[in-house]
Copies of this chain bind each other. A is one copy, B any other.
Amino acid sequence: MSFQNPVFIPGPTNMPEAVRQACYMPTIDHRSPTFGKILHPCLDGVRKVLKSDSAKIFIFPSTGTGGWETALTNTLNSGDKVLAARNGMFSHRWIDMCQRHGLDVQVVETPWGEGLPADKYEEILKADKNHEIKVVLATHNETATGVKSDISAVRKALDAAGHPAMLFVDGVSSIASMDFRFDEWGVDVAVTGSQKGFMLPAGLAIVGFSEKAVAASQNAGLPRTFFDIKDMQKGYDANAFPYTPPVGLMNGLKLSLDMLLDEGLETVFARHHRIAEGVRKAVSAWGLELCAVSPEVYSDTVSAIRTPEGFNATEIVTHAANKYDVAFGVGLGEVAGKVFRIGHLGSLTDVMMLSGLATAEMCMVDLGLDVKLGSGVAAAQEYYSNNAVDGK
């Protein structure tokens, strides 16, 4: 473990030195007022990142998967109907979780590479005259395919149908890196984790609940204890957790929030867009295509890059690790072997990204793909040079 090269996986991301140091704090008494000075700034800061005035924020020592479970178990009863689209590995997994917890999921199968089908949602919601659908699931950014979906369109579908279903959004690989508008989009539960845009180690499930979602917890019959938001809220009201809180990670989150808000959310989003756009310029210069089918669904946090037919894209990832000690992401599920993924989120600079692109290039050439060394790098350099923000 030499830790010399940056990682280019779609999370966990590279971590700022100061954030790592903040996580690395010695033990304090988590029942003392000191902990409140870590807890409340975290809750307030996450709410700001979600662009919400009133969302209740809950932080669990867990991961995004625990966040999904929090969303479901605190709001639903066994047998409840849920509407979801499957357009990648992570939407698939959330659907799978619903089914394991006894929910009745109406799945809209969607080609991997496309965004959520808001129009299909609208159709289905309109047809659901009895409002049996309790929740609509939406994966904001499919980490498996590098596809960003239009959550406001899903909200419009709900509104057009006059449907009262709650809107649950998986923002694990978008929140804190791409624009997310909890209040404006009428989101009821937003789910994320610590190890992506927040630039922390994995270990925190971070969720926001609307008033409506909190209210739903009164009648939610799915069993839960660890992920119970009522216990958690009661804890927060006393500057505490219902069990031992992950103090160091939360201390890191507090700092990470300060850094993000100091930089300015729009600046953070623009930075992610700029770095992503450079990657896309490189992909284009290589003569390759993204898994994401069209520019409006291009993700600013991860690019899944299709390799030519007959080539096993996973080899790039293995080769990069073995020969250059650089980490990229493999394709998952339906696109396993067909794509490799470059993560470009979290603590990253244009300069770091260029070393990732240079490495991907070397790997592709090493493995016999028809790519010209320096070609993608040059395309990205040109873009970065023209769009760089001074003073970084």
Interface: A309 (CB within 8 A): no
Known: A223-B102, A366-B385. A244 touches B358 (CB 8 A): no
Q: Among the listed B5, B15, B351, which residue makes an inter-chain contact with A324, where contact means beta carbons less than 8 Å apart? A: B351
Interface: A16 (CB within 8 A): yes
CA–CA, A174 to B392, complex, Å?
32
Interface: A348 (CB within 8 A): yes
CA–CA, A69 to B62, complex, Å?
13
CA–CA, A235 to B149, complex, Å?
29
| A201 and B21 form a contact (CB under 8 A) | no
* Interface range for A: 35 or more
| A246 and B354 form a contact (CB under 8 A) | no
Interface set, chain A 368-392, CB cutoff 8 A to B: 372-375, 377-379, 381-382, 384-385, 388, 390-392
* Distance in Å: Cβ of A88 to nearest Cβ of chain B: 15
| A3 and B16 form a contact (CB under 8 A) | yes
Known: A359-B351, A374-B378. A28 touches B62 (CB 8 A): no
CA–CA, A379 to B25, complex, Å?
33
7 more A-B residue pairs beyond the given contacts A17-B25, A31-B329, A203-B249, with a C-beta to C-beta distance below 8 A: A2-B392, A14-B27, A97-B225, A201-B248, A226-B227, A354-B354, A373-B378
Q: Among the listed B14, B245, B321, B382, which residue makes an inter-chain contact with A373, where contact means beta carbons less than 8 Å apart? A: B382
Which residues of the partner chain B approach A349 to less than 8 Å between Cβ atoms?
2, 4-5, 324-325
Interface: A326 (CB within 8 A): yes
CA–CA, A1 to B323, complex, Å?
31
Interface: A270 (CB within 8 A): no
* Distance in Å: Cβ of A55 to nearest Cβ of chain B: 22
* Distance in Å: Cβ of A80 to nearest Cβ of chain B: 12
| B354 and A65 form a contact (CB under 8 A) | no
Q: Give 1 or 0 for each of A128-156: 1 = CB within 8 Å of chain B CB.
A: 00000000000000000000000000000
Interface: A293 (CB within 8 A): no
Q: Among the listed B3, B66, B365, which residue makes an inter-chain contact with A25, where contact means beta carbons less than 8 Å apart? A: B3
CA–CA, A73 to B248, complex, Å?
29
| A224 and B9 form a contact (CB under 8 A) | no
Q: Who on chain B is nearest to A193 by CB?
A: B244
Q: Among the listed B100, B330, B384, which residue makes an inter-chain contact with A362, where contact means beta carbons less than 8 Å apart? A: B384
Q: Who on chain B is nearest to A382 by CB?
A: B373
| B355 and A352 form a contact (CB under 8 A) | yes
Q: Give 1 or 0 for each of A19-32: 1 = CB within 8 Å of chain B CB.
A: 01101111111111
CA–CA, A15 to B17, complex, Å?
13
| A244 and B324 form a contact (CB under 8 A) | no
Interface: A300 (CB within 8 A): no
Interface: A64 (CB within 8 A): yes
Interface: A13 (CB within 8 A): yes
* 4 tightest Cβ-Cβ pairs between the two chains A and B: A374-B378, A29-B327, A374-B374, A355-B355
* Distance in Å: Cβ of A350 to nearest Cβ of chain B: 7
Some 26 contacts from A to B, beta carbons below 8 A apart, are A1-B25, A4-B16, A13-B27, A14-B26, A17-B25, A21-B24, A28-B327, A30-B202, A31-B329, A61-B62, A62-B66, A68-B225, A73-B223, A102-B223, A201-B246, A202-B244, A323-B391, A325-B349, A326-B351, A351-B355, A354-B354, A354-B377, A358-B358, A373-B377, A374-B375, A374-B379
